[in-house]
Amino acid sequence: MLRDNLNRQLKYSIRKKKNGGGAASFIVGSVIFGGLMLGNVMSVNADEVASSSTSGDTAVTSNQMNENKDISGKEVTLSKSNTVETTVNQKEDASAVSSDNVVSTTTMNQNESGSTENSENPVDLTNEKQTANETTDTKSSGTDVKNDNLTQSPTNARKLVAVAATVPESQLANNKVTISNFKVNKHLIRESEGLDINFSFDWSGQGLVKGDTLAVPLSDAFTSVTRQVSVPFGSNGQQVGTMVLDYDAKKIYTTFTADMDPNRIYNGTINVGTFINRNYFINKDNRNIVELDLPNGQKEAVDLQIIFDAKDTAPELGIITVQADKNADNPDGSTNITWDAIVNSDKDQMSDASIYVTPDVIKGINPQFEVPSQVLGYNYSAWTDMNFEYDSNSTYSLNEDSFRVYQANVYASMGYAKEKELVKGKDYELVKSGAMPHAYVINLIGDYATTSFPIVVEYSGTVPAKNGERAVVDQATTDAFVAYYKGTIVVSNDAGTRYSGPFLANWAHASINVNNSSITGSSQNVLGSVSVVHIDATTGKLLKPEAYVLEKDGTPLHNVEQGTEYKTTPETFSGYKFTSMGYDSAPAEGTVKEGHQRVIYLYVPEVKQKGNVDVTYVTEDGKVLEATTDVVKDGEVGTDYTTEKKNFDGYSFSRMGEFSAEATGQVKKEQST
């Protein structure tokens, strides 16, 4: 491609779309299973990463999402940063002049959906949600360990993990905790409606002492940008411990650091807001049963269907999208954030692809070409200037040494596994952009000058601490942009470059927002609870959800005074009959005792008995006047039947046979005649 500047001949008009809908929310989050909250409400941060695109057959497309919700379903207020409109004319190559980085702390957390038309008159494109009907098997992928170029000194969370991981067996407190009333808010999750999922359960702990630790496995089905999340918790306004979610070790550690009263019971409810892991559910339509480990050792099997349908309404996600990979806190209060720009998951043939990544917000482009196009929107000659329009974002800067470029296998979920790392200088060039002050550009060259392989660019930046306070991840955003030619390079010489297909460009925006989970709890004198459950004894199936027994006034017997009287009875379920109490059941009626009592009723399917009724007409001397006929054949026991006297020439009715069934009656189990 020529690097000379030519007069502008073709203009691409851009404007932002304000009501995009967030169909391609790339969301990950923190999951909290097994942690305890004692006392007042505490918020636990779960990191949400958003990225989306709009749809339309246009040469230039901007991708951005605008929907973000917390676990209560209420919309999160989004703030918009101040903007500086800038237009730069600069073709990027290895000799481009680097611009100085300016670092400030502008918050960039708005989520808006952008669209462009390849014409003078901008046209908004509408994202309509569509349902995916394709069904494939779900499988868990062995996620490739991604490159970490960040120099990470141990933070407080990592130190706590190191201590908790070596706790002696005598202080593992899982047997001191009981769990009940587990709930999940939904079993069908569509990407177009958000990948959030919420769990809640009641917990109760007794006999806890200082140093006790809960260690619980963490499911691969969920993930977080923050790899170690530290959450202090308290009772009655005083901190009593810390919970750490370690996504690298797949463990949750909850350590009680205060002097606990073993004669008190600690209890409450944990509400967990988390998000689906795209590297676990990798197909478009995933059906799986996920087993979740709870602090007391029990497992909850959750039947999930995960449908990734964003590309149904936003096909440009197959060209480029960007999402956060992870973040790590540094001892100086700054935070490193690693992003993934995913290019060409659709495996189109691309030539001379240039991939820009930047903290700046791209608003549009006004490219120039070697030869002006005769048809608006179609140009087969090399571009010379991109002329980006952008809002400068100096919240943080990218680390040049962090860039890694991979050929990858990108799943339908937009998760991916690395296949091959590209070689700098041989397969790609990395250039500090002169077009935008904080951008870098990756030019694919060599064997990748024309390619249909999906490409992943991993890169990171450092968000500095502000006014002595630790940086937070929701201060950072990134844009990723790709310009390329569809098809192959036809000719490239001193006269210029021509391609078999037209110039195309797409870009995507990602930000990190916070989705909070709430945990409530209290401590009190030793109390008790009674719940009742009705079970099919042949299969273990619950005939109705387990629930707390109700007092006469309707109050659930959950953490109530010992000695409180209760009474339960079997219930009626169609097709079942009560058979017995469970072998470890609490009494059907009695009084509340310390801890949690469970009344278990067992039922078996009813077996419907059948019987037959037939009729025979005979004379007193045994002569058969009419052969035996069925009145009821294999009829349900208890079914009504009737017979009738018949007239026969030369005979009159005398009596019923000595061993005859009634002329009118009900079917019995045995044969009736």
Question: Mind listing the pLDDT tens digit for each residue in 150-185?
Answer: 233 345 666 666 766 677 777 777 888 888 888 999
| 22-36, 358-372, 467-481, range with the lowest pLDDT | 22-36
pLDDT digit string (tens) for 210-264?
988 888 888 999 988 888 877 777 777 777 788 787 888 888 888 888 888 776 7
Structure tokens belonging to residue 403: 């860039």
| 134-143, 192-201, 481-490, range with the lowest pLDDT | 134-143
pLDDT digit string (tens) for 329-372?
888 889 899 999 999 999 999 999 999 999 999 999 989 999 88
Strand order in the sheet with 85-87: 85-87, 388-391, 361-365
> pLDDT-based confidence at 672, cuts 50/70/90?
low
Where in the chain are all domains bearing CATH 3.10.20.320? 527-605
- Is it the case that residue 513 has pLDDT exceeding 90? no
- Is it the case that residue 592 has pLDDT exceeding 60? yes
Angle CA 453–458–464, to nearest 5? 160
- Is it the case that residue 65 has pLDDT exceeding 80? no
The pLDDT assigned to 321 comes to 93
Provide the residue count of the chain. Answer: 673
CA–CA separation, 238 and 259 (whole Å)? 11
Residue from 644, 637, 648 nearest 662 by CA: 644
Based on C-alpha coordinates, what's the Rg of the chain? 35
CA–CA separation, 171 and 255 (whole Å)? 10
> pLDDT-based confidence at 654, cuts 50/70/90?
confident
Output the average pLDDT for the chain.
73
Phi, psi of 401 (to 5 degrees): -70, -10
Q: Where are the beta strands (DSSP E) in 502-555?
A: 503-525, 528-536, 542-548
Q: In which region does residue 39 sit, left (phi positive, over 0), alpha (psi from -120 to 50) or beta (all else)?
A: left
Does this model's pTM top 0.85? My answer is no
- Is it the case that residue 425 has pLDDT exceeding 90? yes
Residue from 601, 543, 546 nearest 575 by CA: 543
Cα 347 to its chain centre, rounded Å, is: 26
CA–CA separation, 380 and 201 (whole Å)? 60
The pLDDT assigned to 169 comes to 73
> pLDDT-based confidence at 521, cuts 50/70/90?
low
- Is it the case that residue 59 has pLDDT exceeding 60? no
**Which amino acid is located at 246 in the chain?**
D
- Is it the case that residue 601 has pLDDT exceeding 80? yes
Structure tokens belonging to residue 599: 């009344």
The pLDDT assigned to 624 comes to 79
- Is it the case that residue 102 has pLDDT exceeding 60? no
The pLDDT assigned to 45 comes to 27
- Is it the case that residue 421 has pLDDT exceeding 60? yes
Residue 672 CA: distances (Å) to CA of 471, 630, 638, 666: 87, 10, 13, 10
The pLDDT assigned to 150 comes to 29
Structure tokens belonging to residue 444: 């694919």
* Highest mean predicted confidence (pLDDT) among 75-79, 250-254, 488-492: 488-492
Give the side-chain half-sphere CA count within 13 A for 406.
Answer: 21
CA–CA separation, 442 and 427 (whole Å)? 10
- Is it the case that residue 655 has pLDDT exceeding 90? no
Q: Where are the beta strands (DSSP E) in 606-662?
A: 610-618, 624-636, 640-642
pLDDT digit string (tens) for 287-332?
999 998 888 788 899 999 999 998 898 888 899 999 989 888 888 8
Structure tokens belonging to residue 296: 């007391």
Comparing 468 with 285, which gets the higher pLDDT?
Answer: 285
Domain 527-605 has CATH 1.20.1050.10: no
Q: What percent of the chain has pLDDT over 90?
A: 32
- Is it the case that residue 270 has pLDDT exceeding 90? no
The distance in angstroms from the start CA to the end CA of the chain is: 100
Q: What percent of the chain has pLDDT over 70?
A: 71
